[in-house]
A and B are shown apart, each in its own frame.
Chain A
Amino acid sequence: MSNAYLAKSLPDSSDQYPPPMTNEQALVREERKEHASMLLLLAPALVMVVVLLIMPLCWLAFQSVQTEDGFSLANYLRIFQESIYWDTFALTFKISFLVTILSIVMGFPIAYAASRLHGFWANLVLICVILPFWTSVLVRSYAWLVLLQRRGLVNQTLMDLGIIDQPLNLMHNTTGTVIGTLHVMLPFMVLPLYSVMKKIPQDLMQASESLGAKPFYTFRRVFLPMAAPGIMAGSILVFVICLGFFITPELLGGGRTILVSMLVQRNVELYHAWGAASAVGLVLLFVVFLIFWGINRFIPIERILGAR
């Protein structure tokens, strides 16, 4: 603001005392103009995010502490006092944690294979990761509904193989939620892991082994430390997306496995309880920001998100 004012006021003063414009002054002026035009270019995008995201969030924050009697923290206290709220948060964290661990365990071999293979085989592995990644989450949830139902392919195969006698209850419960959610999250783990592993030179492993290290020692002391940033980026991404995930848990949980996101949705759409919905949502947001803020010291946020 003050810059614009200054720039405007300059010509006036120059009418009276035409100042000799030094090279330095001209450069400063040019730099200011440059800064202003860059901010102007950023403006449309910023307006979109401020008006449609930041302002609504402030609004929700206001709603969460506003009751008929004026300011109140009742909506937040309820989260700690009523077991349904507390249990929902606990379950959400438990499922997110489980899915993150499982996606490390399952994502690591896939990423490793993709980074060490060449040509057709490497492409085959990557396509098996990328095709589901680009396929709508709704489509994949539908597929899991078909696969996991009582007479579905999974139960049928297990019974044909004689592993089980009775069909298992694989959906409309936490098992279904975890299977479906893991399927959505796995690519988010594999892709950052793959891009890190691809850059690890093979020579280092050979050097380690030529110096007498056993394969496992080489893996643990040479490969793993270099793959660690990828594991970290993938884990943060998976955990954070899991915390707020809605579609798959809603469809595969069948209304029995209630997560935080569903608590927000039900409070808004069924009960029109904006205060409760806002409080729950903002606690979730606070946790997510805390995680991002904590990890930002080790890996810049842009790097983590850029992995998408």
Chain B
Amino acid sequence: MNLLANLRHLRLSRVLFTLLVAAILLYLIIPVLIVVPMSFSEARFLQFPPKQWSFHWYEAFFNSVEWMSAAKVSLITAFFTMVISLPIGMAAAYAINNSSLKVVRTLQIVLLLPMMVPIILIAAGVFFVYARVGLISTMTGLVLAHIMLALPYVIIALLAGLRNFDMSQEMVARSLGMNRFRAFMAVTLPQIKPSVVSATLFAFITSLDETVVALFISGGDNQTLTKRMFTALRDEIDPTIAAISSILILASLILVVIAGRNKQG
């Protein structure tokens, strides 16, 4: 009798726990999933489920000069951020991993600062400096700021790879006559490839996703997609954003898949 009651109790709590987990997961995933059907709606107003289906908002996005230019600015900025922050971050991560100097530990914390300082303060500071040196609304300024923001992510990703790598392999290559750079490129780099891939993804995503700094320092012809989306969302909800959002969700889905494969491979 007692055993049966116990069993029933156990099963009930299990069911309740499963329901709880399912509810929280729905809370997490519904906002991501709901945008896609919205983007195929014909209506100008937000309604769910849509009464009529169309590609209207995708056309609006791809035919709009402003949206297209914003998308281009964002992609170019993300590309340059990725290409420049990777070698800079790699040099720093290599030094942090190999140096026995005590000061390097302190410097490592300094390099993590862009992750710790509230982004709004970073934005205000960068805006203040750029206003004085004429870098407001320029692509150069945007890329420089994004490199600084991406560095901690790049360094953390690369350090994870370097820490699991046996540096004596590189030593062997050097003792056999390769110079340090060549030894790194030929021996170390291929073996930490997964962490390089995730560092690259992080750099790209950080830049593509970055909104607050772009809000302050980008403008004119060099407005980012995020800035335009933010202003559009604040002023009046334009359903074109549903189309853009769906494209971005597809992009993040692809990135998650790449990241997942990268971890296994």
Give me the interface of A with B, judged by CB distance under 8 Å. 34-35, 38-39, 41-42, 44-46, 48-50, 52-57, 59-60, 63, 106, 109-110, 113, 125, 127-132, 134-147, 149, 151-153, 183, 186-187, 240, 243-244, 246-247, 250-251, 261, 264-265, 268-269, 274, 277-278, 281-282, 284-285, 288-289, 292, 301-302, 305-306, 308
Contacts and interface: CB of A to CB of B under 8 A. Distances in A.
B121 A285 contact: yes
Contact of B24 (A41, A110, A250, A302): A110
B124 A281 contact: yes
B255 interface: yes
Contact of B118 (A59, A125, A285): A285
B1 interface: no
In order of increasing CB-CB distance, the 5 nearest A-B pairs are A244-B118, A56-B125, A143-B31, A45-B92, A38-B99
A128 B25 contact: yes
Contacts of B155: 45
18 contacts: A53-B113, A106-B24, A135-B249, A136-B245, A138-B211, A142-B245, A146-B46, A147-B34, A149-B46, A240-B116, A246-B119, A247-B212, A251-B230, A251-B234, A261-B120, A265-B123, A305-B115, A308-B156
Contacts of A301: 109, 112, 116
B99 A35 contact: yes
Contact of B124 (A127, A264, A289): A264
Given A53-B113, A132-B28, A284-B121, A60 B128 contact: yes
Nearest to B152: A305
B222 to A, nearest CB: 17
Chain A binding surface, main DSSP class: helix
Nearest to B120: A261
Contacts of B111: 42, 45-46, 49
B230 A45 contact: no
Contact of A125 (B25, B89, B110, B151): B25
A49 B148 CA distance: 6
Assign chain B's interface to a size class. Answer: 35 or more
A46 B29 contact: no
Nearest to A269: B216
Nearest to B48: A153
A134 B257 CA distance: 11
B121 A57 contact: yes
Contacts of B29: 128, 131-132
Interface of B: 17, 20-21, 24-25, 27-32, 34-35, 38, 46-48, 88-89, 91-92, 94-96, 98-99, 101, 104, 107-129, 144-145, 147-148, 151-153, 155-156, 160, 205, 208-209, 211-212, 216, 226, 229-230, 233-234, 237, 241-242, 245, 248-249, 252-253, 255-256
A285 B117 contact: yes
Given A145-B233, A152-B48, A186-B24, 4 more contacts: A42-B92, A53-B148, A186-B28, A265-B120
